[in-house]
A and B are shown apart, each in its own frame.
Chain A
Amino acid sequence: MTTSTEPGPPASTGAVQVRNLRIELVRDGTDVVDGIVIDVVAGEVLGLVGESGSGKTTVGMALMGYTRPGGHVVGGDVLIDGHDVRKMALGELRRLRGGTVAYIPQDPGTALNPALRIGRQLSEMLEAHMGSTGEQERDARVREALEEVALPATDDFLKRYSHQLSGGQQQRVAIAMAFACRPHVIVCDEPTTGLDVTTQARVLQTIRELCQDHQVAALYVSHDLAVVAELADKVAVMYAGRIVERGPREVMFSQPRHPYTRRLLRAVPDLEGKRPIEGIPGHAPLPGHRPQGCFFEPRCLHAVARCRETFPEAVQYEPGHWVCCYRADDTPKDGPVLASGRGEAPASSGEVVLSAEKLDARYLRRQTLFDINLAVARNECLALVGESGSGKTTLARCISGLHHTYTGTVKLGEAALAQRARQRSAEARQRIQYIFQNPYASLNPRRTIGQTIARQLALFDPGSGRDRGARVEQCLERVALSARAADRYPDQLSGGERQRVAIARALAAEPWVLVCDEITSALDVSVQAAIVELLAELRKQTGLSILFITHNLALIRTIADRVSVMTGGRIVETGRINEVFEAPKADYTRQLLANTPTIEAALGHNGHGA
């Protein structure tokens, strides 16, 4: 164990060196990030992991001498190739950005300029940084850059606009742009977030190869631990604006010491289904609301009195493994984080409560669903897996009566239902409850939580008028929210809390089936795990059936009994969960399984056990 004042390696070997970086809001001096220490050398990838609001993107952009409007750097050093970014004049900064340090954005759909052709956007990069070269040379370089990312270097392609490209192509253009001027450092800001696993796998492969070929130092910012496990050499974990733990990848995944890192890993769904997932109660404190001591203390099971007093300094435990925790010596005694053991699922009866038969659906003039057949039994959880555009949400909306241009039959029990929700029986509307992806959009922002749930009770249980207040409290209790939530508006709750409210509203109708449409995809992994736990518990208690729609293959392994795999508007495979995962029959399922990144596979692949 050594103390935390690190001299760091000499400047010549380190491409990126950040020391004690602090960024504040200009408005009131609230700290956004503080005490950030980063070292990346050429040819190395550092994975910067954190949940939303942890400040990871802020840190990434600081490497380019950029802070978003409203924030400013107030302390610390950011050295790129030994030069301090904070001391650079505007002209030097311009040469740095794009020239020495390049950026790959999170969402190329919004980061590429909609009014400029792809060719223009690529060549202006070269103009800015290789000004003296001729036009022909630049054109050749643009084409070369496109070829490097396996895009066609044709005139036709160069003349396109970003909206004429697919998501994967857009991201490749952004990558080509980033590598065009041969930078020494690359900042990747969750570059695969919006992509399907298949596209993600290819994009990651491209980034990995380019980083190795050109010996760049990469900072890979992500919330996805599995992706980081596959890609990174070193990992730093951020929580509430601080790096709480950092170290070599193997150590970070097999012997993490910070309680947050350990809980975070337990929340990651396991594709192999060997361990249950576990959420982290509570949520991270926002800037301006951070406690005096350790920021994780309010959610930490290991906290002691000292944790409430001062934020712990980084201490080195293994070579290069630094942890900000007073209890870092004791936490490993919990046992391994990636432990095996699976909770048993409740057995479902054979009685079918919800079914769809020969469903064909259209959107405008295009057919989007083809001959869909599925059935959900009482107390069963059927997972519906597919990538974006597979038609899974359309199917869910047909079932709920929200998308009505379909033929075929949706049945509740034995009763066939009308296409439109309004024309369905009150019973059908009550027994099938739909939960939306984004809980913020599905709750009326001008109604309190109590009003929202009371309205649902009034609709489906008119007799409950007298004791409605008490009933609302009961509903909130069932999703583990306190009665105080009733007086709040949606914008006063966290994302996880809002989704609990949406679940509570659905449960208030006493449904037979919950149709959950990507209900955790907008949530952080620790919150996602907590919601999944809640659903499993509700199923056990109430005999509820669930149709769980998701793109996340690993997630369903933990919760579903059966799975239907969708692509191109068709169900290509349906089966018991273990059978589909262990012996997939459809090529598409095999491909999905192969492309889904997992921590276990990433570590095992490289010869390290978890």
Chain B
Amino acid sequence: MSATTATAEPFAPAPEPVRRGRAATLARATLGQSRAKVGLVIFVLILVIVIFGPLFAPHSPTEFVAAPNSGSSSHALFGADSLGRDVWSRFLYGGRSILGLALAATIIGVGLGLVIGLSAAYLGGLVDEVLMRIADVFMAFPQIVLALLLVSAFGPKLWLIVLTVGISHAPRVARVIRGAAQQLVERDFVKAAEAVGEPRRRVIFGELLPNVTSPLMVETGLRLTYSIGLIAAISFLGLGIQPPHADWGLMINENRLSLIVQPWGVMLPVIAIALLTISTGLMTDSYARVVIGIDRGE
């Protein structure tokens, strides 16, 4: 009998007999928190309004249906806006642009930031230095200021707004991902991959990427929350979605001067935007708490 079999280590009874995927475990633990449940319910609610709202709108968002700033009537549930359009119908139509643009900006920003962050962390040296200096330059502009600068040059174009918001996210995401990846680069499993000659691309996407999914998810949630706020703010400033389109941010801008006589034109979109960002914030935070808990071995 060889010594190797004599010292075989039996396995300790595993905590769970069948290991679920990490993603499934995380999702379950996240939704186990009441704040995540609240967040999800609100998010789904808003999503339903955004997607199916237009189907239930009594009027076209641009049609004049009542006297300007008139109050609630059988004809217009929440009254009419300063031009006499139905506030409720405009509200039901007004979520698509904001959510669609925010999602697009988030995907661009997080994708760009991920690639930059991982490359900077792994390649290090000059590449890292140059990438981070460029990131510094873009971080020197508050996100809304960068957007305004480009709008002043190109005019209020939707693609431009999506792109600027996305680009302004990228250096912030890149910093977080770089920070997470730098700790990994020091870890021995990356050295082990280098010692056996794994190609750089494989080290970045095969070894590092799977280990930054948690911060990446948190960043995605955060950036979505901020994108919604930013896109809404740009439209609110009158520099995003242009009239006569129905959009929550624009609605607030259009109706804020008649706030006292016709509060719904402001309050409906304000509440919707607030609920939307709170819901994404709650879900992101719940997820982050779970991840931190797991990483600490709790």
Contacts and interface: CB of A to CB of B under 8 A. Distances in A.
A and B touch in the complex (CB under 8 A): yes
Interface of A: 279, 281-283, 285-286, 289, 298, 400-402, 421-422, 424, 426, 429-430, 433-434, 436-438, 441-447, 456, 459-460, 478-482, 484-485, 487-489, 492, 494, 496-497, 500, 505, 509, 530, 533-534, 536-538, 541
13 contacts: A282-B9, A286-B12, A429-B197, A436-B191, A442-B188, A443-B189, A446-B210, A459-B198, A485-B11, A488-B14, A494-B12, A497-B9, A533-B3
A281 B192 contact: no
B137 interface: no
B13 interface: yes
B22 to A, nearest CB: 7
A400 B195 contact: yes
B195 A482 contact: no
A426 B14 CA distance: 38
Closest 6 CB pairs of A and B: A442-B188, A446-B210, A480-B8, A436-B188, A441-B188, A530-B7
B118 to A, nearest CB: 14
B6 interface: yes
B9 A434 contact: no
Given A480-B7, A482-B8, A492-B14, 11 more contacts: A279-B7, A281-B8, A282-B10, A283-B9, A421-B194, A422-B194, A426-B197, A446-B211, A480-B9, A533-B3, A533-B4
B26 to A, nearest CB: 12
Nearest to A400: B195
B7 A446 contact: no
Given A442-B188, A444-B210, A480-B9, A402 B194 contact: yes
B48 interface: no
Nearest to A423: B197
Interface in B269-283: none
Nearest to A448: B19
Contacts of A437: 188
A302 to B, nearest CB: 16
B13 A289 contact: yes
B187 A441 contact: yes
A492 B19 contact: yes
Interface of B: 2-14, 19, 22, 187-189, 191-192, 194-198, 207, 210-211, 213
Contacts of B8: 281, 480-482
Contacts of B5: 480
A438 B188 contact: yes
A312 B13 CA distance: 23
Contacts of B7: 279, 281, 480, 530, 533-534
Contacts of B210: 444, 446-447
A478 B187 contact: no
Most buried by A among B8, B13, B22, B198: B8
Contacts of B187: 441-442
A180 B294 CA distance: 40
Contacts of A283: 9, 12
Contacts of A479: 4
A459 B197 contact: yes
Given A283-B9, A489-B19, A497-B9, A534 B196 contact: no
B9 A496 contact: yes
B4 to A, nearest CB: 5
Given A436-B188, A537-B2, A530 B9 contact: yes
A276 to B, nearest CB: 10
A222 B101 CA distance: 60
Contact of A509 (B9, B13, B191, B196): B196
Nearest to A527: B9
B154 to A, nearest CB: 42
A282 B9 CA distance: 4
A444 B205 CA distance: 13
Nearest to B211: A446
A149 B3 CA distance: 47
Given A281-B10, A402-B191, A482-B11, A487 B19 contact: yes
B2 to A, nearest CB: 6
B216 to A, nearest CB: 13
Nearest to A490: B189
A421 to B, nearest CB: 5
Contacts of A279: 7
B12 A289 contact: yes
Given A438-B188, A480-B9, A536 B3 contact: yes
Nearest to B197: A429
A513 to B, nearest CB: 13
A528 to B, nearest CB: 11
Contacts of A424: 197
A444 B207 contact: yes
Given A422-B194, A429-B197, A444 B189 contact: yes
Nearest to B6: A281
Nearest to A425: B197
A429 B6 contact: no
Nearest to A444: B189
A351 to B, nearest CB: 24
A506 to B, nearest CB: 9
Contacts of B19: 487-489, 492
Given A446-B210, A480-B7, A537-B2, A401 B195 contact: yes
A500 B10 CA distance: 13
B62 to A, nearest CB: 51
A394 to B, nearest CB: 13
A537 B3 contact: yes
Contacts of B213: 446
A434 B192 contact: yes
Contact of A456 (B2, B189, B196, B211): B196
A442 B192 contact: yes
B233 to A, nearest CB: 38
A485 B19 CA distance: 12
A437 B191 CA distance: 12
Nearest to B187: A441
B115 to A, nearest CB: 19
Contacts of A434: 191-192, 195
